[in-house]
Amino acid sequence: MNKPFTPQLVYFEPKALDYPLGKELKEKFDKLGIETRFTTSHNQIRDLPGETDAQKYRIAKSTLVVGIRKTLKFDTSKPSAEYAIPFATGCMGHCHYCYLQTTMGAKPYIRTYVNVEEILDAADKYIEERAPEITRFEAACTSDIVGIDHLTHTLKRAINHFGQTELGRLRFVTKFHYVDHLLDAAHNGHTRFRFSVNADYVIKNFEPGTSPLAKRIEAAGKVARAGYPLGFIVAPIYIHEGWEEGYRHLFERLDEELPQDAREDITFEFIQHRFTKPAKKVIEKNYPKTKLELDESKRRYKWGKYGIGKYIYQKDEEDELKDHLYGYMEKFFPNAKIEYFT
Ligand code: SF4
């Protein structure tokens, strides 16, 4: 995706227009000539266009719903943060393995909440409760927040907000490169900006609708030069022909782009490709032509919560992936911190 996301259709909860951001978005979309409709609740959009399920899914992925977040109780978000901060849900990307297909099942549309100040006030209460401990908030649990932030600037407000708190920290991850408006935010080192990266083959074949690798890496360079603590999630690590070379090349390119002084505080998270039986079903429905390898008989079964286990790589394959990825990281970024390999 080389152009920032523009929705094809926008729904508003009427009360969202009582908030400055709601009003601003309505004016913006009216000016752009984008169709807007009203909905009584952001939880239920009854008249989404489309004849078949496949059409409905595609249209939903380019539909924005502007609403008010009523529940200000945050979910936990272990291990990377204490809480998930709810600014948005859904994503315009079409990654074949996206976990939102199962977690957001019936609501693949993109939602943004306009009561940002109330959400930030709720975050402040969580910070107070845990003081003097640091409290971390993850903003990308249910969406790719950077992908829509050029429209809302909610993330920018949040970065400025956490920049001023003593004990609050923000983090998120993205597959998009539209970061320019975030570069002058007063982050104060309190926001860790992470990019999801992968071997070229994986991005080209399985991540339509997201930014190409070269653009993500360029954006990571900008973010590093703006002084943000930086991180990378290499996920899903996927075995394909020439994967060793593919992942090596990824690290070489990161090495070319990132300034030396950004390397002292950089984190890596590694997640091997996995799937569950319910996820496989949804992927095959939403992306019937995918080349994604989802053969249970080639994988190792790992028991999971609620009886739904995951299929991960065989032990010897996992060890090989780990050896290579750790090796590249140590060669190119010897001072980086590994958060986990899973
Ligand atoms: Fe899902 Fe992230 Fe891809 Fe969006 S960019 S479709 S959230 S994996």
Ligand 1, atom 3: nearest CA belongs to which residue? 95
Q: Are strands 300-302 and 310-312 parallel, antiparallel or unpaired?
A: antiparallel
Measure 98 CA to ligand 1 centroid, in angstroms: 5
- What pLDDT score does 10 carry? 98
Atom from ligand 1 closest to the CA of residue 175: 5
Gap from CA of 196 to ligand 1 centroid (Å): 10
Interval 128-175: pLDDT, tens: 999 999 999 999 999 999 999 999 999 999 999 999 999 999 999 999
Question: Tokens at residue 60, please?
Answer: 């939903």
**Rounded to whole angstroms, how far apart are CA atoms 206 and 240?**
12
ipTM above 0.90, yes or no: yes
Q: Please tell me the distance between residue 5's alpha carbon and the centre of ligand 1 in angstroms.
A: 13
The beta-carbon contacts of 151-156 under 8 Å, at least 24 apart in sequence, are: 151/4, 151/5, 151/25, 151/28, 151/64, 151/112, 152/21, 152/25, 152/88, 152/112, 153/181, 154/21, 154/87, 154/88, 154/112, 154/113, 154/116, 155/87, 155/182, 156/181, 156/182, 156/185
Q: How many Å lie between the centroid of ligand 1 and the Cα of residue 131? A: 33
Instruction: Give the whole-angstrom CA distance, residue 296 versus residue 229.
Output: 38
Which atom number of ligand 1 is nearest to the Cα of residue 144?
Answer: 7
Q: Could you tell me the distance, in angstroms and rounded to a whole number, from the CA of residue 195 to the centre of ligand 1?
A: 12
Q: Residue 46 has what pLDDT?
A: 84
Mean pLDDT of 231-256: 98
pLDDT at 163: 98
Nearest residue (CA) to ligand 1, atom 1: 98
* Atom 6 of ligand 1, residue of closest alpha carbon: 93
pLDDT tens track for 95-132: 999 999 998 887 899 999 999 999 999 999 999 999 99
Pocket test for ligand 1, best of 58, 100, 213 (most atoms within 8 A of CB): 100
- Residue 198, pLDDT score: 98
Is pLDDT of 1 > 70? no
pLDDT tens-digit series, residues 53-94 = 899 999 999 999 999 999 999 999 987 899 999 999 999 999
What is the pLDDT at residue 47?
Answer: 87
Ligand 1 neighbours (beta carbon < 6 A): 91, 93, 95, 98, 100, 144, 175, 210
Tell me whether strands 83-84 and 35-38 are parallel, antiparallel or unpaired.
unpaired
- Closest Cα to atom 8 of ligand 1: 98
Strand partners, 237: 272
